[in-house]
Amino acid sequence: MFPVFFHKRLQYIVYVIVKIHYTTKLQILKIDYKLLNDGTQMFKYVIIPCRILRSDTLNSIRRSLMESTKKASPGRKTNSSGKSSKNNQKKKKKTFTNILKIALIAMILLGFVGGAGVFMYVSIALKDIEPIDPSMIATKLTENSVIVDSDGRILEYIHHKEGLRTVVRYEDMSEDLINAFVAVEDKTFFEHNGFNIIRLFGAVKDTLTTGKRLGGTSTITQQLARNIYLFEIRSARDLDRKIKEAYYAIELEKHLKKEQIIEGYLNLVYLGANSNGVEAAAQAYFSKSASEVNYIEAALMAGIVKSPSAYPPMLNISKVEVTSNHYVFDDSDPLYTLVYNPGCEDRYLTSIYLMHENGKISDAEYEYAKTVDLRTVINPGKTAQTEITSFFADMVRDEVIADLVEAYGYSVADATNLLYTGGFTIESTIDFDMQKTLESHYAQSNFTTYFGESTAVAVRAFQRDNGLAVDGVAGQNTLAKIRELSGMDTSIFTQAVYQRGNDSEEVVLLKRTLFELGYLINNENFPKVTVVLDGQGNIVSEESRRLLVYKQSNLVDADKNFIIPSSDYAFDADGNLVLFKGKRMYFYPHFQNNQLVSIQVVVKETFTFSEDSDNERLASGKFNLTNLFTYEGRDVLIPNEYKSFDENSNVVVDKAFLVDQPDFFKVDANQNLLVTKGNYVISEQGVIQPQSAMVIIDYHNGELKSIVGGRNITGQRMYNRATNPRQPGSAIKPLSVFTPAVDSGKYTAATVIDDRPVYLLGDPNVRWPINWYEAYPQFHKYWGLVTLRESVQHSINVTAALIVQDLGVTNSLNYLNKFGISTLVTSGPTNDANIASLALGGMTRGITPLELTAAYGAIANKGILNDIITYKTVKNSRGEIILKNESKQTYVVDENVAFIVQDMMRTSVESGVATAAKLSPNNDIIQVSGKTGTTSSNIDAWFVGYTPYYVGGVWFGNDLNIPLDQGSRIAAQFWRTVMADIHVDAAPKLFDIPTTLVSTSVDIISGKLPSELSALDPRGTVRTEIFLRGTEPTETDDVHVMADICTESGKLATEFCPTTLVVSKLFVKRPVPYNASEHVDSRGNPIAIKDGGYDMPTADCDIHTIETTTEEETTGSQYQGIVPLVRLVDGSYYVQRRYPIELTSGQIITLPVGSKIMPDNSVVFSDGSSISAENIKSIPMYTAEELDALNP
């Protein structure tokens, strides 16, 4: 008989009973327990099979209860005749008998009711349970999840790296290992039949008395059942899950032997470090097989099961999280550090206690185990915490894990394990064809038709190796030799020679063959590395000549020994080896509780390049290096106990080590110290430079469509360059400058800003910022009065900095946050709360290509940011949707603001710095809008742009921050190449223009409505511009003015200037005058600005003064009697003396001698400038006498 348990919060007491449903062969008993303390009544229905009680028995029970209840009810009327005490005693006796009878019957009934209640509860819990297929148990142990595209095509299976899920047989597991898990998890494993009823009842009792969740009851068989069949509800702690576990446990016990059950359990259990099963965990934590694990190691592993996130003995944490209190096992990874987890210690002590209590270890072993320093037990395996998979699959996996944690309350460890083993089908957002297209542009095997520098380098190398004339030209002799060695079909070649600049299909075959022969590394889509080399060929800084990267042959000799020059080490008086700091190795101290616990000695980075190629030497002395590869330095393998620091932070290697390991070091004839091969680590596979990343997003819904995180990289998860921040340069401006400016209402696309020398660093002797075009002698350093649109078009730094200064850095930071930029640093000694970071993109950490691209997508998407998503749905192994993913939207700006920013960037693509990104010559088929970005010295090069379909962002740069040979133009070119292929079947489409914008003509020098004089500017300064309603200009151009100039002095004419030397000219009256002599360059030369020639002079003529001018000249008497106009044969009139006319604006101007009044009443000046007839109100016909009187 099973007892019935009621939750302590439910309130029941006695009263009863009964109704019979003969049609269902069941009897429903309504038990009404009346509370004595507060009178509350609750009802509980249970079901009893009808064979348990006969109906007459039930009716008898009901009648008895009702009778006794009536007699015992308070306030019931009594016999008024007054019965004798004897009768009262009889009644009392009868009442007592009835109560006793009822109590006995109720006890029996409750036993039946309890058993039936449990029966029905279990039946309901198991109603929809998935039946076991014994033949599929083995498959269930290794069920992997899969990523598919929207058409159901399998893109990738999600699984741990080979070796992280190795199945090991029971007989190959150490006895200590099995003993530890049995002692800790299920000491009666070999006795019970699947579940432990005593543990279950104990746990239920604890739950009822404490209110805590039901837990701590599962046997090893139940845990195996849970991991195979109930993983999706494994975090639940309720009776339903326990019942299902028990069912599956019993079924497993029917079909499997105990040895098979524990084998399956130990191969499936998740033990942290991305390790499923004891073999993977043993390799990860101890670098040994499960067959070799001792009882201390086994106790550590068994202790992890309770919480794989809290109790693993080591953790992989971000380098920024490492403190002096961490004990470091491995710091060689560029992003993460492997550290000891002291949280494992209490759990370990519990494990060894249980092993001792259950007789699995002796007293002596137990006492010793309590004293072990667990840090000495850990020996991390090379596979710990590493996975190899594609960039996109990594991101899908991370997002699914995060959503499982959020939606179902799993721990990260449980969600990760479920993803790897749950048999999920994940419908990704990836466009398979688009991804393959993008990857093809990064692949070496994607050969273009163009014969470029890389091809010439490959041909030269081939010629050199085969005794041919080395000229980089594939002529007949070279082609014949290639055919001889490769079997290449040369019959398709139509030209006698192929050389740089050729563009034909035959070049593709030539490239492919050179690639297969090992000569061509296809990098013609990418920039080159431009570096300064020192005398030994190491890369050094251009400014300080500080050494940046060692040439590998300078660090490693032909015998693979690591070279430490005699200047980099010494022996102290005690015979210890002293390695000097700041040389060829990094020294990383690691502290715990403010005590130095270890020193890591790491070889610095190195590089190689194709030295037999023609590496171009530039006039500047820099080199464009071909096929540059960088190699990450790792540890010099000196045991920690032999290392210490001296007072100068040099590393001291104890002489005892030199004695113990005499072959570790050698000294060559030059007294260089050599670390012998195998005693240090440098990554064997180099990483080609420059590197790149590109992402493409459907900005309408936030779906990531394709991504590449690096060149020639096979899923190096730890360094996905698409998700790692880099300085964005000017690519930040649309987000932090232009959008805030337009949204403020203070700036429009026509707002004029003066691009002139400024000193925003606070030092009057230091011009800052500098425009990018200052580096090009053919350009002026500053361009003068420019509109906001022109600032975007030409990526002008000065104007961007002035806007941020005006609107405030906090304002810019707020917009970057709204655009979803998560990498801002807003506090600390080095942060982004400054103009350099926000206007020029010189950020502390930078922005990831993924986030920058998504932010541009918000501008394209009418001011709405869609969070990036990588999957749409996740289905479990039964085909049920367990996660449905939709992008979260964030309002950034009004769609009109977004369109104006977009339209300004469109100008940049059509006629500015980003013209290389156009998909059509006039940008009028599939329209493109976007922005370039380049950081100082061409360290980073960007282009982020979008079409009406997609937004894409591309980054180029070097992992070690060394310069590229070109800037953002090549990024824009690469973007165009990729996006042209992606849009090849897309219908022509332009950006939609909001109907609520206002369009009007403006003068781009003043930013105001055009005047008559605006049209006279030979630069054509009248344009049509778009505005937010209410921000369009209402004032008229007052910057263009006419002024009389003395042609001899070039200054403003005075009354003393001879009229024959005075001309009226159109000028720009700059709001703030500019004096070039007040601003000088590094050589002391005055800095002229681009539009300075249009500035109206501010000084009067100093050649013609009262002392040098006659009375006749000063009164204009030299024109007395001269006929003002002479008609010419073409019908025009030649002006012989100063002649006043009136413009339509009402302004009176004086035509200088030499001007011509044309037949259509327009005026042409002697310098070729003109005034159209539409701008002239009247030309009076003066006589000589009338002009004599006017003396104009």
Number of CB atoms found within 10 A of residue 1127's CB: 10
Report the CATH number at residue 215. Answer: 1.10.3810.10
User: Are 314 and 207 in the same domain?
Assistant: yes
The residues, any chain, with a CB within 8 Å of residue 1146's CB and separated by 6 or more, are 1177
Could you say which DSSP state residue 775 is in? G
- 893 within domain boundaries: no
Q: Which amino acid is it at 908?
A: S
Phi, psi of 1170 (to 5 degrees): -150, 165
Beta bridge partners of 754: 785
Which of 38-52, 696-710, 773-787 is least confident?
Answer: 38-52
By three-state DSSP, how is residue 606 classified? Answer: strand
- 108 within domain boundaries: yes
- Do the bridges between strand 687-689 and strand 628-631 make them parallel or antiparallel, or are there none, so unpaired? antiparallel
Q: What is the pLDDT of residues 913-960, one digit of tens each?
A: 999 999 999 999 999 999 999 998 899 999 999 999 999 999 999 988
Q: Work out the average pLDDT over 867-881.
A: 93
Q: Which amino acid is it at 566?
A: S
Distance of CA 393 to the CA centre of its chain: 14
The residues, any chain, with a CB within 8 Å of residue 1023's CB and separated by 6 or more, are 750, 1001, 1002, 1004
Q: Sign (positive/negative) of CA torsion 684, 685, 686, 692?
A: negative
User: What is the pLDDT, as a whole number, of residue 272?
Assistant: 86
Q: Work out the average pLDDT over 885-911.
A: 98
Could you say which DSSP state residue 194 is in? S
**E-only strand ranges, 824-935:** 864-866, 871-875, 881-884, 889-891, 929-934
Banded pLDDT at 866 (limits 50, 70, 90) = very high
User: What is the pLDDT, as a whole number, of residue 870?
Assistant: 96
User: Are 811 and 763 in the same domain?
Assistant: yes
Q: What is the pLDDT of residues 231-242, one digit of tens each?
A: 555 555 556 666
CA-nearest of 1115, 1137, 1130 to 1182 is 1137
User: What is the pLDDT, as a whole number, of residue 206?
Assistant: 52
DSSP letters for 200-243: HHHHHHHHHHH-PPP-S---HHHHHHHHHH-GGGTT--SHHHHH
User: What is the pLDDT, as a whole number, of residue 24?
Assistant: 31
The residue among 825 and 1117 whose pLDDT is bigger is 825
Which of 51-60, 891-900, 910-919 is least confident?
Answer: 51-60
User: Are 1071 and 1186 in the same domain?
Assistant: no
User: Are 327 and 213 in the same domain?
Assistant: yes
Residue 1116 has pLDDT above 60, yes or no: no
CB 943 within 8 A of CB 934: no
- Do the bridges between strand 752-755 and strand 784-787 make them parallel or antiparallel, or are there none, so unpaired? antiparallel
User: What is the pLDDT, as a whole number, of residue 931?
Assistant: 98
Domain count, the chain: 7
Q: Which amino acid is it at 217?
A: T
Q: Cα separation of 468 and 476, whole Å? A: 11
Residue 718, classified by CB atoms within 10 Å of its CB into exposed (0-12), middle (13-18) or buried (19+), is middle
Q: What is the pLDDT of residues 965-978, one digit of tens each?
A: 889 999 999 999 99
**CA 505, 510, 514, 517: dihedral to nearest 10 degrees?**
110
- 903 within domain boundaries: no
Beta bridge partners of 27: 20, 48
CB 840 within 8 A of CB 827: no
Banded pLDDT at 19 (limits 50, 70, 90) = very low
Residue 49 has pLDDT above 60, yes or no: no
CB 441 within 8 A of CB 974: yes
Could you say which DSSP state residue 82 is in? -
Beta bridge partners of 495: none
The residue among 537 and 275 whose pLDDT is bigger is 537
**E-only strand ranges, 93-214:** 145-148, 154-158
Residue found by looking up tokens 């030799």 in the block: 481
Angle at which helix 363-371 crosses helix 344-357, to 10 degrees, equals 170
Q: Cα separation of 419 and 403, whole Å? A: 11
The residues, any chain, with a CB within 8 Å of residue 938's CB and separated by 6 or more, are 527, 530, 963, 964, 965, 966, 967
Banded pLDDT at 863 (limits 50, 70, 90) = very high
Which of 159-163, 186-190, 234-238, 798-802 is least confident?
Answer: 159-163
Angle at which helix 220-229 crosses helix 239-255, to 10 degrees, equals 100
CB 593 within 8 A of CB 375: no
Residue-range definition of the domain harbouring residue 480: 445-516
Q: Work out the average pLDDT over 835-853.
A: 97
Q: Work out the average pLDDT over 411-415.
A: 83
Q: Work out the average pLDDT over 449-472.
A: 87
Q: Work out the average pLDDT over 500-528.
A: 83
User: Are 371 and 241 in the same domain?
Assistant: yes
User: Are 244 and 358 in the same domain?
Assistant: yes
Domain end (from 457, 488, 516): 516
CA-nearest of 1008, 929, 1010 to 748 is 1008
Residue 51 has pLDDT above 80, yes or no: no
Banded pLDDT at 1 (limits 50, 70, 90) = very low
User: Are 675 and 760 in the same domain?
Assistant: no
User: What is the pLDDT, as a whole number, of residue 934?
Assistant: 96
Residue 25 has pLDDT above 50, yes or no: no
Angle at which helix 295-304 crosses helix 175-185, to 10 degrees, equals 40
pTM for this prediction: 0.69
Domain end (from 847, 877, 907): 847
Element (H, E) at 478: helix 476-486
CA-nearest of 1061, 875, 65, 1036 to 425 is 875
Q: Cα separation of 411 and 401, whole Å? A: 9
- 475 within domain boundaries: yes
Q: What is the pLDDT of residues 53-104, one digit of tens each?
A: 344 444 544 454 444 444 444 433 334 344 344 444 444 445 544 555 555 5
Residue 326 has pLDDT above 50, yes or no: yes
Distance of CA 224 to the CA centre of its chain: 38
Q: Work out the average pLDDT over 895-910.
A: 99
Residue 1171 has pLDDT above 70, yes or no: yes
User: Are 760 and 670 in the same domain?
Assistant: no
By three-state DSSP, how is residue 1078 classified? Answer: helix
Where b means 16+ CB within 10 Å and e means fewer, 187-221 reads: bebeebebbbeebbeebbeebeeeeeebeebbbbb
Rg (CA), the chain: 43
User: What is the pLDDT, as a whole number, of residue 1137?
Assistant: 85
Q: Work out the average pLDDT over 98-112.
A: 53
**Which stretch, 25-29, 42-46, 847-851, has highest mean pLDDT?**
847-851
Residue 434 has pLDDT above 50, yes or no: yes
The percent of the chain in helix, strand and coil, each rounded to the nearest 5, is 35, 20, 45
Number of CB atoms found within 10 A of residue 1048's CB: 14
CB 266 within 8 A of CB 166: no
Q: Cα separation of 218 and 246, whole Å? A: 9
CB 377 within 8 A of CB 296: yes
Q: Work out the average pLDDT over 450-460.
A: 83
Q: Cα separation of 370 and 562, whole Å? A: 42
Q: Cα separation of 944 and 693, whole Å? A: 12
Residue 35 has pLDDT above 60, yes or no: no
- 130 within domain boundaries: no
Q: Cα separation of 82 and 241, whole Å? A: 63
Residue 43 has pLDDT above 50, yes or no: no
User: Are 1065 and 1146 in the same domain?
Assistant: no
Q: Work out the average pLDDT over 1093-1110.
A: 81
User: Are 1095 and 1133 in the same domain?
Assistant: no
> 769 preceded by cis ω (within 30°)?
yes
Which of 364-368, 464-468, 1144-1148 is least confident?
Answer: 1144-1148
**Which stretch, 114-118, 489-493, 855-859, has highest mean pLDDT?**
855-859
User: What is the pLDDT, as a whole number, of residue 778?
Assistant: 92
Q: What is the pLDDT of residues 678-707, one digit of tens each?
A: 899 898 878 889 999 999 999 999 999 999
CA-nearest of 723, 719, 714, 705 to 870 is 705
Q: What is the pLDDT of residues 721-757, one digit of tens each?
A: 999 999 999 999 999 999 999 999 999 999 999 999 9
Which of 107-116, 484-493, 852-861 is least confident?
Answer: 107-116
Residue 765 has pLDDT above 80, yes or no: yes
Q: Sign (positive/negative) of CA torsion 840, 846, 850, 854?
A: negative
Element (H, E) at 823: none
Q: Cα separation of 869 and 502, whole Å? A: 43
The residues, any chain, with a CB within 8 Å of residue 1087's CB and separated by 6 or more, are 757, 781, 782, 1076, 1079, 1080, 1081
- Do the bridges between strand 606-608 and strand 547-551 make them parallel or antiparallel, or are there none, so unpaired? parallel
User: What is the pLDDT, as a whole number, of residue 200?
Assistant: 55
User: What is the pLDDT, as a whole number, of residue 52?
Assistant: 37
User: What is the pLDDT, as a whole number, of residue 1010?
Assistant: 97
Residue 1109 has pLDDT above 80, yes or no: no
Which of 298-312, 996-1010, 1119-1133 is least confident?
Answer: 1119-1133
Residue 827 has pLDDT above 60, yes or no: yes
Number of CB atoms found within 10 A of residue 727's CB: 24
* Tokens encoding 504: 């034909």
User: Are 1082 and 1142 in the same domain?
Assistant: no
Q: Cα separation of 250 and 126, whole Å? A: 13
- 833 within domain boundaries: yes
Banded pLDDT at 22 (limits 50, 70, 90) = very low
Distance of CA 31 to the CA centre of its chain: 62
Question: Which residue stretches of 966-1105 are H helix?
Answer: 968-982
Per-chain mean pLDDT for the chain: 83
The residue among 1054 and 53 whose pLDDT is bigger is 1054
- 985 within domain boundaries: no
Where b means 16+ CB within 10 Å and e means fewer, 950-978 reads: bbbbbbbbbbbebbbbbbbbbbbbbbbeb
Banded pLDDT at 209 (limits 50, 70, 90) = low
User: Are 534 and 491 in the same domain?
Assistant: no
Could you say which DSSP state residue 617 is in? E
CB 29 within 8 A of CB 49: no
